[in-house]
Amino acid sequence: MTTAPMTTAPRVAPAKPRKTWPLSRRSARGWWPVTPWLAACSGAQSALAPGGREAEQLAQLFWWMAGGALAVWLVVMGLALYAAWAPPRQEQRGPRRLIVWGGVIVPTLTLTAVAVYGLWLLPGFLAPAAPGSLRIAVTGEQYWWRVRYLPSGKAPVELANEIRLPVGEAVEFALDSADVIHSFWIPALAGKMDMIPGRTTRLRLTPTRVGHYRGACAEYCGASHALMTFPVVVQEKAEFERWLAEQAAPARAPREPLGERGRDVFLGNGCGACHGVRGSPADGVIGPDLTHVGGRLSLAAGLLPNRPADFAAWVSATKTLKPGAHMPAFAMLPAPELEALSTYLEGLE
């Protein structure tokens, strides 16, 4: 069995770094105890570095809740310190007033205000996207994502493990599951939504910032739950339309003899029974559609970079790299056949 390079760094260009903490390196040195927490405020998978309207509202709610909790904590801690250190006094009216205000009135008002703000946001999150908006159906499977774009007036376009969205437009996701409960979450764009077998749930989001983001499964779904992620690209409308038209086209025929040999390996080993490659005899629907797999930003649902060596590693060691994956490992394929197969798949752009 091939020992596969266990690299998990996807070939996804990192989201443009945003200046979130205006400190020079020198003055930042004193902040080292809090840097692990500050690091969570940026990055491609942070709900606190929003790139979508819904995520912006959620981040705002988070900061109000954090501020409210801090206010209540400060008041209660102040009271506790007062109780511990204040000199004993005969007159009890002052301390009693402190307890009523600090222990009852301030916490109640603060928590009620935060609760009302959260409830006030709720109807906006639940409202469906306007008719005519882009619709995308995503099915969670152990451990990958089936993605179907449903452009109005056109045939559906199926792909897998990657989502691209036009900036500034509301998108409506229809979510379901083929096996167990998963949860669809792109933290930088919106809240999460469960994917439940036998039910269709929906999620609307509106990306506001062009960039690369990362989505993940947010519900424990089995051994490889943590390896079920996907890159998300928000791009300008024209660029997005071009990409979707490319995805709708059938697969490109191999251009070199090695690729042709790889196609024979693919078809000869029965890969087409599970995987579809539109425009070829492979019409399987069990596993991810591979029509344009070579053009994707990652392999195996965000697990590996999309390079020929990683293709070969993945095909020959699926169960080692992703425990519980349904695809059998093709460790018996000789190295030249693996190389040809990787060349063919990488050529499917």
Q: What residues make contact with ligand CUA under the rule CB under 6 A?
A: 140, 143, 182, 217, 219-221, 225, 228
Buried b (16+ CB within 10 A) or exposed e, 229-251: bbbbbbbeeeebeebbeebbeeb
Contact 274, 327 (CB under 8 A): yes
Shortest distance, position 221 Cβ to ligand CUA, whole Å: 3
Residue placing its CB nearer to ligand CUA in the complex, 178 or 244: 178
Residue 158 or 219 having the CB closest to ligand CUA: 219
Nearest to 192 by CA among 171, 212, 217, 211: 217
Shortest approach of ligand CUA to residue 214 CB, angstroms?
Answer: 14
Provide, rounded to whole angstroms, the least separation between the CB of residue 286 and ligand CUA: 17
Report the residue number, 189 or 218, with the smaller CB distance to ligand CUA: 218
Look at residues 249, 214, 238, 245 and name the one whose alpha carbon lies nearest to residue 228.
214
CB of 67 to ligand CUA, least distance (A): 32
Q: How far is the CB of 10 from ligand CUA (least distance, A)?
A: 17
Separation of alpha carbons 239 and 232, rounded Å: 14
Minimum CB distance to ligand CUA smaller for 143 or for 344: 143
Nearer to ligand CUA, 75 or 186 (CB): 186
Q: Please tell me whether residue 242 adopts helix, strand or coil conformation.
A: helix
- What is the number of H-type helices and E-type strands within the chain? 10, 12
Which is closer to ligand CUA, CB of 114 or CB of 218? 218
Question: What span, in angstroms and rounded, lies between the C-alpha atoms of 24 and 20?
Answer: 12
Shortest Å distance, C-beta 39 to ligand CUA: 24
Rg, Å, the chain Cα set: 26
Helix (H) or strand (E) holding 185: strand 182-185
